[in-house]
Chain A
């Protein structure tokens, strides 16, 4: 896993998400709402028959919950990857020690 590959993969993902921001004039609203709009266009008589049990009371609370989801996932990922990396390092160290003796 060389540095260039990492740079290429990360750079590609970052470019793909930032270029639209720079180049497209749009409001970047979430897509669920647009799907709902299309449904009411295709089937004007349809009434949604259920409401979400809990809706984030404001955009701030919603972004908090999204951040929480990302943070939880990222925290767990970081912890596990760290565990594996350390184990890998210790194995390598043990291997080089046994070679020296």
Chain B
């Protein structure tokens, strides 16, 4: 747990408030969501992304079976990671650009159970939203799945491993993992759109800049929020689930925060 003086804490809250206020003044743009809507990718791209995505999904299903077979007691935690992604991706949070978008909650499970397993849970969330909420879609599930359920978890996992080595502070590592995976997902979505719809003048790069500019500012405060919430759940787990986290090799044996 990070131990900081109260003054510092108020300082960082103030900094967040200032940053928000600054961003507000720095001119609103409409934003991009993390879903490419149904039918909004040309056929070739839609099929192509499906083909890229399917092997990862198969890997994820295999990883999920392995995890449940080898550590049946971790099933509850898997459900928790899935539920967390469900809750977070249903929250449409208003952002500084005057539009709304939502976080994903993918990082928690990616850190707990490695990225492949999270591919399955992320896909479930996407399916729910595609089928019931007309949010995303089946034709674009390959592309959306790749950005949110493949790149998101992998970036989260790699960030967590890297940061926990660099800082030895799990809270900072978790925060960065959630924040960076959120931004990475949106970058991939922008790239997918740019590849499918290159700008007539400037090609893919210009189109990417256009799509990315739409979401960058919107997504930053959301990514920070997601980081804060994920740290909250993480702290809770380290307090009450020490045994499970030790089994998953996320906490050193013999150390407990009783």
Chain A positions within 8 Å of B, measured between CB atoms, are: 1-2, 4-6, 8-13, 15-17, 19-21, 23-32, 34-39, 42-43, 46, 48-56, 62, 65-67, 69-70, 72-77, 80-81, 83-85, 87-88, 92
Query: B52 contacts the other chain (Cβ, under 8 Å)?
Result: no
Chain A residues whose CB sits within 8 angstroms of the CB of B97 once the complex forms:
20, 24, 26
B252 at the A interface (CB under 8 A): no
- Grouping DSSP codes into helix (H, G, I), strand (E, B) and loop, the A interface class, with mixed when no group exceeds half, is helix
CB distance from A87 to the nearest CB of B (A): 8
* CB–CB B197/A32 < 8 A: no
Q: Which chain B residues (177-220) contact chain A, with CB distance < 8 Å?
A: 193, 197, 199-200, 207, 210-211, 214-215, 218
B241 at the interface (CB under 8 A from A): yes
Within 8 A of A (CB), among B74-98: 76-77, 79-80, 82-98
On whether the beta carbons of A42 and B87 are closer than 8 Å, the reply is: no
Query: How many Å lie between the Cα of A91 and that of B37 in the bound state?
Result: 49
Q: Which one of B37, B43, B79, B215 contacts A80 once the chains associate, using CB atoms below 8 Å?
A: B79
* Chain A hits for B222, CB < 8 A: 16
Which among B76, B94, B231 is the interface contact of A9 at CB below 8 angstroms? Answer: B231
| Residues A6 and B17 in contact in the complex (CB < 8 Å), given A62-B133, A92-B258 | no
Assess the B99–A69 pair: CB atoms within 8 A.
Answer: no
Chain A nearest Cβ from B243, distance in angstroms? 9
CB-CB < 8 A to A12: which residues of B?
12-13, 16, 224-225, 228
Query: Which of A4, A35, A75 lies in contact with B33, CB distance below 8 A?
Result: A35
Nearest CB in chain B: distance from A10 CB, A: 7
| 13 chain-A/chain-B pairs, Cβ below 8 angstroms | A12-B12, A19-B24, A26-B99, A27-B99, A28-B99, A34-B99, A35-B40, A35-B214, A38-B32, A43-B197, A52-B134, A85-B240, A88-B240
Partner of B32 from A34, A62, A84, A87 at Cβ < 8 Å: A34
- Cβ-defined contact, A1 with B236, below 8 A: yes
B225:A13 contact, CB within 8 angstroms: yes
A50 to chain B minimum Cβ distance, whole angstroms, is 3
Interface of B is mostly: helix
Candidates A9, A23, A30, A87; contact of B99 at CB < 8 Å = A30
The 6 closest A-B pairs by CB, nearest first: A26-B98, A73-B86, A50-B39, A73-B87, A48-B39, A31-B33
Alpha-carbon distance between A36 and B41 when the two chains are bound, in angstroms: 10
Q: A20-B221, A35-B33, A66-B133 are in contact. Are A29 and B86 (CB under 8 A)?
A: no
Q: Give Cα distance in the complex from A32 to B71, angstroms.
A: 39
Q: A19-B20, A28-B94 are in contact. Are A35 and B37 (CB under 8 A)?
A: yes
Chain A nearest CB, measured from B250 CB (Å): 15
Question: B84: which A residues are within 8 A, CB to CB?
Answer: 73, 77
Q: Which B residues lie within 8 Å of A55 (CB)?
A: 134
Chain A residues contacting B82 (CB-CB under 8 Å) are 76
- Residues of chain A lying within 8 A (CB to CB) of residue B93: 16-17
Contact indicator B236/A81 (Cβ below 8 Å)? yes
CA distance A66 to B176 in the complex (A): 27
Q: When the two chains form the complex, which single residue of B39, B85, B133 contacts A51, counting CB atoms closer than 8 Å? A: B39
Report if B137 contacts A (CB, 8 A): yes
A13→B101 CA distance, assembly (Å): 14
